[in-house]
Amino acid sequence: QKEVEQDPGPLSVPEGAIVSLNCTYSNSAFQYFMWYRQYSRKGPELLMYTYSSGNKEDGRFTAQVDKSSKYISLFIRDSQPSDSATYLCAMILTTDSWGKLQFGAGTQVVVTP
């Protein structure tokens, strides 16, 4: 079993809809949580990062962390075709606070006009 699980999709939504993405993890020592966006054949782009449980909002993006359920989410409001990409969740263990990212497999999102 992988430490970070993410549904690979694809997730197809119409333009303007809310995109809901999530990851689950097995190790309660994960302390830092990130979301990256990766366009085809490009490097990942950092969207948001959060520390411990709670919500964080940045423009159309909202990240949620529920450490009691070992579950994190990313919501994209008013989705646009330019949001079509693979979204990767990533986490860092407390013991790896120097920065070893552990990634999920990524969820492919397709926003149709």
Partner 1 sequence: DAGVTQSPTHLIKTRGQQVTLRCSPISGHKSVSWYQQVLGQGPQFIFQYYEKEERGRGNFPDRFSARQFPNYSSELNVNALLLGDSALYLCASSGDRENYEQYFGPGTRLTVT
Residues near partner 1, by CB under 8 A: 4, 6, 8, 32, 34, 36, 41-46, 49, 51, 88, 90, 92, 96-106
User: Coil, strand, or helix at residue 18?
Assistant: coil
User: Which residue lies nearer to partner 1 by CB, 17 or 50?
Assistant: 50
Given a contact cutoff of 8 angstroms between Cβ atoms, the answer to whether 30 and 91 are in contact is yes
Q: Which is closer to partner 1, CB of 7 or CB of 17?
A: 7
Helix (H, G, I), strand (E, B) or coil at 97: coil
Closest distance of CB 43 from partner 1, Å: 4
C-alpha torsion 63→86→78→61, nearest 10: 20
Strand 19-25 to 102-103 pairing: unpaired
Query: Which CB sits closer to partner 1, 36 or 84?
Result: 36
**Across-strand partners of 91?**
33, 102
Output the smallest distance, CB 40 to partner 1, in A: 11
Q: Among residues 51 and 71, whose Cβ is nearest to partner 1?
A: 51
Structure tokens at 1: 């079993």
Minimum Å gap between C-beta 17 and partner 1 is: 25
